A and B are shown apart, each in its own frame.
Chain A
């Protein structure tokens, strides 16, 4: 382990200027990036966390921003919507990520076979990813329309549903419906990345396993999966980060409704900040959401890395 670490370092050194004697020049080069990221990310983040301890409503400038300690956090934990929001966020994120990942993986495995017109199929299957989010949201809003939506017509013709459903207006099915639309939009990314990963696996390895008598399932479990692990981690973490803060699809179609059944943290925070103009309370929600995200990410990484040690 140590040796390979050293070799890596030695290899890296070859790619860098040896006489980087002056610290000044490289720092000048990164300075603009650091300054801008502090301005648009670091500073606003700290500011938002500070807001969460202050009363701050844009509509009441005369009150100013008095310090209120943990009052807004207490209010949040008593808020009956808090638990629902947390549940919805987990439902939405895991549903979307799992759906996108599974479908993306199946299609990546298929595209990795020696099929005809592979590039053509890959190009077609990337379509949803290329379409702007707002267009995807409009499209599905129309497809899900309770009276004239094409989904109802198709499903009824196929005999899958008996009567037209109000996909986005029924609290019981609004969330699964939106997840379906989101899986459609997002699976190509997982597919693309996993396909790229699959193509780096040397075919000899698979052939050798075949000769040794491993069946397809075993080859998949003991060769493909372990080799793909880094890319699987990357894809799931990226999708998790993106989908947990997906705003466009939900805002265009349901705005968190009906009966708060699709209200995730992002929607809740956005409503508190930009409809109620209660920046302090929104900030408390946001800060807690950030903590939850961090904890979930750490747990996930632990689980995966833990599996590696066995």
Chain B
């Protein structure tokens, strides 16, 4: 009995330490964002801001005529376009991979999987040269290049979801007079809707997060996405403005956290389902 309770003390001790280490940086981000600049550099530090202020947020939102909000808009456009475009293209491909057997199918599937192993920086070299040539160093160019990670991911996820729905259901509907297309639309799609949402969402977050392509392909400040734009405003200055930087960080994290809490169940389910099936 004693060894038993020692085990539980150990378990909860590790858990609590893990939670503290996990959350501390986030706590520190919040604490920094609400401190006036003169309190930032005090030692010993103020754990909780004594004179909380919104100055840092005001600074971030008004810098360079509100360019921060433009970054936000650009990120929203790029992420939405990437997740929707990859979803539609991948949906029909995944249906084909899941529902038909034909020569070359395995090779094509392997190709789609293999593309994800190639380091992105290798692709960036040629894609950049291409985009310069066709004058597409803009948001459209960025959206197009993001297909290199979004599309293969979506195809593989969705194929897994299609595989989990027995074909009999569709064939039953076809016997009852549905065309193949309407059988898929009416029977299968609603059943895998959670998977579809999870896939689109994951790609939305990946595009929201992407940094290397974003700082390279977009040159005009006005057109930058959030990560690239924040890097451009905050890093590289002699005196980094930590307060506004943390305020901006909170702001770009919030949409992600909202999306995540709202759809955590689907996202986790979808990712692990695909993974365990291998």
Cross-chain contact B22 with A41 (CB below 8 angstroms): no
Q: Which of B50-58, B141-149, B190-198 contacts A (4 or more CB under 8 A)?
A: B141-149
Question: In the assembly, what is the distance between CA of A226 and CA of B31, in Å?
Answer: 45
> Which listed residue (B118, B230, B257) contacts A41, Cβ 8 A?
B118
Given A40-B123, A132-B256, also A124-B23 (CB < 8 A): yes
Check if A133 is an interface residue, CB within 8 A of chain B. Answer: yes
Question: In the assembly, what is the distance between CA of A270 and CA of B95, in Å?
Answer: 37
Q: How far is the CB of B58 from chain A (nearest CB, A)?
A: 19
Check if A200 is an interface residue, CB within 8 A of chain B. Answer: yes
Since A40-B145, A115-B15, A279-B129 are in contact, a sample of 16 more A-B pairs with Cβ atoms closer than 8 Å, ordered by chain A residue number, is A14-B168, A16-B101, A32-B92, A107-B14, A124-B19, A125-B18, A131-B256, A148-B43, A200-B276, A231-B276, A234-B278, A247-B211, A247-B212, A283-B125, A290-B118, A293-B119
Given A40-B148, A252-B235, A286-B121, also A16-B19 (CB < 8 A): no
Check if B63 is an interface residue, CB within 8 A of chain A. Answer: no
Check if B124 is an interface residue, CB within 8 A of chain A. Answer: yes
Question: In the assembly, what is the distance between CA of A214 and CA of B72, in Å?
Answer: 56
**Nearest CB in chain A to that of B242: its residue:** A142
Cross-chain contact B118 with A20 (CB below 8 angstroms): no
Q: How far is the CB of A4 from chain B (nearest CB, A)?
A: 15
Question: In the assembly, what is the distance between CA of A27 and CA of B108, in Å?
Answer: 10
Given A196-B272, A241-B116, A248-B227, also A113-B11 (CB < 8 A): yes
Cross-chain contact A33 with B89 (CB below 8 angstroms): yes
Those of A238-282 within 8 Å (CB) of chain B: 241, 244-245, 247-248, 251-252, 265-266, 269-270, 273-274, 279, 282
Check if A86 is an interface residue, CB within 8 A of chain B. Answer: no
**Nearest CB in chain A to that of B216: its residue:** A274
Instruction: Give the B interface residue count (CB, 8 A).
Output: 95
A contact residues around B127 at 8 Å (CB)? 40, 44
Those of A132-167 within 8 Å (CB) of chain B: 132-136, 138-140, 142-143, 145, 147-148, 150, 153
Q: How far is the CB of A39 from chain B (nearest CB, A)?
A: 8
**Nearest CB in chain B to that of A120: its residue:** B19
Interface residues on A, range: 35 or more
Q: Which of B123, B128, B230 has the most CB of A within 10 A?
A: B123
Cross-chain contact B125 with A48 (CB below 8 angstroms): yes
Cross-chain contact B115 with A130 (CB below 8 angstroms): no
**Nearest CB in chain A to that of B213: its residue:** A247
B contact residues around A58 at 8 Å (CB)? 129, 132
Question: In the assembly, what is the distance between CA of A297 and CA of B118, in Å?
Answer: 12
A contact residues around B15 at 8 Å (CB)? 107, 110, 115, 121
Q: How far is the CB of A96 from chain B (nearest CB, A)?
A: 15
Those of B232-278 within 8 Å (CB) of chain A: 234-235, 242, 245-246, 249, 252-253, 256-257, 260, 264, 268, 271-272, 275-276, 278
> Which listed residue (A30, A41, A184, A287) contacts B96, Cβ 8 A?
A30
Question: In the assembly, what is the distance between CA of A245 and CA of B242, in Å?
Answer: 27
A contact residues around B138 at 8 Å (CB)? none
Given A30-B97, A248-B227, also A197-B122 (CB < 8 A): no
Question: In the assembly, what is the distance between CA of A33 and CA of B145, in Å?
Answer: 14
Q: How far is the CB of A262 from chain B (nearest CB, A)?
A: 16
Q: How far is the CB of A196 from chain B (nearest CB, A)?
A: 4
Cross-chain contact A230 with B278 (CB below 8 angstroms): yes
Q: Which of A130, A197, A234 has the most CB of B within 10 A?
A: A130
- Sample (29) of A-B pairs whose CB atoms are under 8 Å apart: A15-B163, A16-B100, A17-B167, A17-B180, A27-B96, A29-B95, A33-B92, A37-B148, A40-B151, A41-B115, A45-B118, A47-B130, A110-B14, A127-B26, A134-B227, A135-B29, A135-B252, A142-B246, A153-B44, A193-B271, A197-B276, A245-B121, A248-B211, A252-B231, A266-B121, A279-B125, A287-B122, A289-B119, A290-B118
